[in-house]
Structure 1
Amino acid sequence: MPRTVVFAALFAAAAALIQPSAAETPVERGRYLVNGIASCGNCHSPQQPEGTVSGPPLSGGNAIASPAFTAYPPNLTPDRDTGLGSWTADQIVTAIREGVTPDGKVLRPPMPVAFYRGMSDRDAYAIAAYLQSLAPVRNQVPASSYRQPTLPGYGGPVGAIPDPDPSDKVAYGHYLAQMGHCMLCHTPRDANGRIDTSLLGAGGVPVGDAGIITPNITPDPKFGIGAWTDGQIADALTKGVRPDGSHLAPPMPWPYLATMSDQDIGAITAYLRTLKPIAQ
C-alpha cells in the first residue's frame, strides 16, 4: 500500500477517535445530558423515597420542601396543556439559562438557573430538542408556594456561548459540574441565603426532611475527598458508594451520573481536586 494511502487511513482513524460526537444528533446529545450530568429527572420525575422513578419520566416531580418554599417541579414533556408542548426551542433555552418563562415569569428555587447560565448554545438547544422529542404526558402538578420574595431575575440575556474545550480537563470538569449544579447542595449559604463562594464544596447543607447533610467534596484529606483515589471518586459519583463501602443517599444523583462517559467523570474529578481544601 502506498505511504500516502497509509497516512490518509491513519489520519481518518485518528480523526474518528478525537471527534467521537461528530455524528451525534442534538436529540442524542440532549438525552445524554438530561439523563446524565443535568439529572433533570432527579427533580422532574415522580420518585419513591429511595429515588426509584415511579411514573413517566420528566412528567413532574414530588414536592421539594424547605423553610422557604414547597416546590413542585413541573412537567417537562411536550404535553400542550400541562407541559412544554406550546413552547418553542428558544423559549425552553431561555427558561433554562435565563430563568424566564414564555409568559414572563421568573423561575424560582430550587431550579438552578444560576448554574445553567454558562451552558453552551449547543448543549442548551440539545436539551430542548430532547425534551421536545419525548412522548407527551398529561400531568398537571400542584402550584408551588413560597415564603420568600420572588427574585428579580438572574442577570438578563446570556448571549451566545460556545462549546467548552474537552481537552482542557479542569475547565471542562468545571463546566460539567456547573451543569450538574453540584454546588447547589454541597456549598453552605451566607447570611443572605446565597451560595457562600468562600466555602465552595464544603458541604454541611441539610437536604429534605430525612436529616441528610451533604458531605464535604473539597480535597481536604481529613474532612473531604482529598485522600480518595480517582477510582473511589468515580465510584461515589457513578455507584453511590464511598471508599468505606457505605452508600450515598438521595438526592445524590448517582444513577444519572452512572450513564456518563469515563472521560466526563474524569474531568469532574480533575475539577474537584482543584477546589480549595476546607477542613470542616
Structure 2
Amino acid sequence: MEHILRPIYQERAGDPNTLGAILVEKVDELSPTTDNFDSVLLLLVKEAELPIFTKHYTYNNRITAMHIITEAQLRKWLLLATNKKLVDWLYNGRVVFDRNEFVSTLRKELKDNPYYGRSIKMGIEFSKLLRRYQEGRVSFEQKNFFDAYHHMSESLLHLARLSIIEEGNYPELMVWNQVRYFNAEVYRLNEEFIMSSESIEQRLELVFLATEFMLNSKMEECSVHILRVMEEQTNWSIQQLHEQEELKNYSINLEVFIEYLVDKGYIDIERLETKTPNVYHRYYVVHG
C-alpha cells in the first residue's frame, strides 16, 4: 500500500513547510480508528491556509483518506484531548517522513510530559460531565427515565475520560478498556449501571449519588484552570468570559460551570448598577 501512496507524500515532503507524514493502515474489517478507510495518511505542516484539509483517494478497490493538519491545530487537539483518533495515529502510525525528527520529538514530548494541558483538559471534561448530570437529573425528576438513562450513560463516559486525564493519559477510542486499568471504581459503576437486574429507576438513583459524590470530590482540582484564568482581572462579564481565548474551549458548557462554581462559593457575584432601577449588571469575581 505504501508504494502506491509514496508519490503523494513524497511530493509534499519536498515542501519545507511539511513537517512529517504518518501512515495508518486498517487492521480489522470495522475500523473506527481509520473511519473504515483502508488507510489514513496524516500530513503535518507548519502553516496552511486551512488548519485542516482532507482528500480522499481510491485505487484497486481500496480507499485512503489524507488529512493535512497544521502544527497549531495539532497542538490544540493534543492540549484539549478533543481528537481521540489523532493520539492513536501519532503513537501507532508508521512514520514515513520526518523532517528534522519533528514527529519523533513530538512523540517523546507526549511520553515525557504526560500531564501536558492536564488542568484545562480536566476542566473541560468536568464541565461536560456536569451538564450531562444536570440534564439527567431534570429528566429523572420529570420521570423521563429513558432520557435520564441516556444522559447518565454520557455522564459516566465523561467521568471515565476525566479519570484517564487525571492519570496523565489521553482518552482513546476504547475508553472503557482504558478505564478498567486506570480507575476500577468508575469501571464497576458503569458495569453495574448497565448490567444490574434492578429497575432503571433504582439504577439511576445509584448513579446519581455516585456521580454527585465524584463531582464534589473532583471540583477543586477541575476548577484550577478556569479560576486561574479569571484571576487575571478583577471582574468579568459573562461576555468577556466567553470571549477569553482559553475559556472559549469550554463552549456551551461555560455558563453551567460558572454557575456551579458560584453555587459552591468559588466565584462571587458583583452587582453593578444599570440605568434601570433595581436592575444590576452581574459580574463574576474569584472568591478571595
Query: TM-score of the superposition, structure 1-length normalised?
Result: 0.29
Q: Which has the higher contact order (CA 8 A, sep 6+)?
A: 1
Query: TM-score of the superposition, structure 2-length normalised?
Result: 0.29
- Say which one has the larger Rg: 2
